[in-house]
Structure 1
């Protein structure tokens, strides 16, 4: 099998490269990235690299050529920075995704796999979801105040259009929860914590037992280790499985789970409006890069059922939520990171 990965130097891309290298059925891999990897070694070797910016309209013909002969194309490319520049975000996330989907159809790719997210979910009435895990039929309208949620939902709608226009192409979308691995720790810190969390503090927190964990009241989310997400991608490719699949580990991520990982015996329930106000103030003052839309998205997204992916392709996470969370917490204070300088830590703080 020949597999093409769009966005192959990111968090999931690096793990998927590792997984594909280990699969006997995979004979060749091509990676599409704006700059490609800027270091050698695993998992970036033995990959044919195409340096393309999917946000540029001029990249369309080269994208088609890069995909010709592929048995499957996996579209992972997505940016969440610069957080304040919606034009730049839309150029890559929305317009770039449409360009990838249309190029796959033009190249005659038999299987297109898209990296959606739990963030695509949301209720049109903007009411928090009820209790109990929700399957893949839950509405995908995103959180209106979240650029990430809005764009993930919009791209799913574009994917529906392309799928309807090209019924000969099998289309799969994965909707994972928060995705963690050791190498992504510095990137995740810079994306979401910024200057409020110097590396020295994060290294100390990783080593100590935290007495009390503050947590937004009523918010429960999900996480999964990046290697397990990569395995999910490989399984749907290998088994030619189409449709939507939720992907998450157990147990759900709430105050109890975080408290267990940090060694805390108590948690402090914090009202969501207060959390949102604090995040909004810090964002306006440019103290940290997380806009309040991420809080809104956490409130509106459901706890997902993963029964479908387990039943259809036999996927099971090899690591619990505790292990995935521990992996990233232990490395939030690191330097270095993934295989492209755009994904590595740029914080000057120690």
Structure 2
């Protein structure tokens, strides 16, 4: 069994490569990435390929499955740029899978593809996937759900699986995620118990998380089992401001959501943070996920709960943790790229 993974060097991709490589039934894993990476696990290889422009059919031929994870989170100020990479690049992947005759496609969707929640009742996979229109990320994830609806009708013999995880964390991705969403002005060393006295208690803010290794395990199961359709992936308990405050030994202070949005908007306009106010709006409207289908059809159970996952992530922030791939590199390696031009995209 030969499996091809796009976006192989990111947070989720590196976890999926490791999970697939550990399966004796998998003979080879090919990881496609825009930039070269470090040494892959046994049975795996990294190949430089861009989903926007390179020939993908040649890489996909003979594969038992393609796992599509490639995604560009930034720049949020240039939605046309992320649209080309995330939407048009994904369409090239899907069409190449069909042309190459690959029998299974596993696509990394998101909780962000779901329509805004109406209450705190967890939603199953049949909840509408119209996203939140005010953020590029949710628009793009939702658009790809619509495209896959039609794609499945055109290719009924191709098994399409859509993974819809909550927020995905692990220690080795902490520095990358700080860069993507908080920017360079949040020192990770300050995110420790005792140094943050208060956490804003924003009414209605609650999300779900999942450890990268647990999501990778779910993807591995989806690849190797005769399943199709969508799967919600998340662990418990639900994370809210009080939950975070307890982890940090802090107290909560009530703050209106409108005030937080105003601060985020001002910081985004001043280029202090890369996360847009539209993304904040989307997060405030995310539904909670019912993971019954993943448990029953994939026999999937998370090995890390929310507290373990976030504690590991926060420890990674404090230590500046990273990995040996370009997207996950610690800051000192990213500074080398910036000043030398290595890894820049034309």
Q: Work out whether the TM-score is over 0.5.
A: yes
Q: Which residue of 1 aligns with 2:112?
A: 119
Distance 1:345 1:55 in 2: 26
TM-score, length-normalised on structure 2? 0.92
Secondary structure at the counterpart of residue 46 of structure 2: strand
- Tell me if 1:305 matches 2:294: no
How much has 1:158 moved relative to structure 2? 1.3
Match of 2:344 in 1: none
Structure 1 runs of 4+ off > 3 angstroms? 207-211, 333-336, 345-348
1:33-64 deviation line (CA, Å, top 9, x unaligned): 11231x22x53x542332111112xx2xx211
Residue 205 in structure 1 maps to residue 191 in structure 2: yes
Aligned residue number for residue 3 of structure 2: 3
- Secondary structure at 1:298's aligned position in 2? helix
Distance of aligned partners of 1:300 and 1:63 in 2 relative to their CA distance in 1, 3 Å threshold: same
Distance (Å, rounded) in 1 between the aligned partners of 2:307 and 2:254: 20
C-alpha distance in structure 1 between counterparts of 2:176 and 2:45, whole Å: 25
Which residue of structure 1 aligns with residue 33 of structure 2?
33
**3-state secondary structure, aligned to 2:213:** helix
- In the superposition, the TM-score normalised over structure 1's length comes to 0.91
How many pairs align? 333
Gaps of 5+ in 2: 336-346
Q: Is the 8 A contact 1:76 1:115 kept in 2?
A: yes
Q: Do 1:185 and 1:334's aligned partners in 2 also have CA atoms closer than 8 Å? A: no
Q: Which residue of 2 aligns with 1:322?
A: 307
Query: 2:184 aligns to what?
Result: 195
- Counterpart of 1:184 in structure 2 is 173
The answer to whether the aligner puts 1:49 opposite 2:46 as a matched pair is: yes
What is residue 241 of structure 1 aligned with on the other side?
227
Q: Check whether the contact 2:105–2:159 (CA below 8 A) recurs between aligned residues.
A: yes
Q: Aligned partners of 2:274 and 2:9: how far apart in 1?
A: 22
Tell whether the 8 Å contact from 2:193 to 2:247 is kept in structure 1 after alignment: no
Query: 2:256 aligns to what?
Result: 271
Match of 1:337 in 2: 322
Question: How far 1:238 moved relative to its partner?
Answer: 1.5
User: Equivalents in 2 of 1:342, 1:7: separation in Å?
Assistant: 10
Residue 210 of structure 1 deviates from its aligned partner by 4.1
Looking at structure 2, the residues matched to 323 and 184 of structure 1 have their Cα atoms a distance apart, in angstroms, of 15
Structure 1: runs of 5+ lacking an equivalent: none
Distance 2:110 2:48 in 1: 25
Verify: 1:71 aligned to 2:68, yes or no: no
Partner of 2:100: 107
The yes-or-no answer on 1:173 pairing with 2:170 is no
Judge conservation of contact 1:67–1:107 (CA < 8 Å) in 2. yes
In the TM superposition, what whole-angstrom CA distance separates every residue of 1:144-187 from its partner, at most 9, and x where no partner exists?
11110000000111112211111110000000000001110000
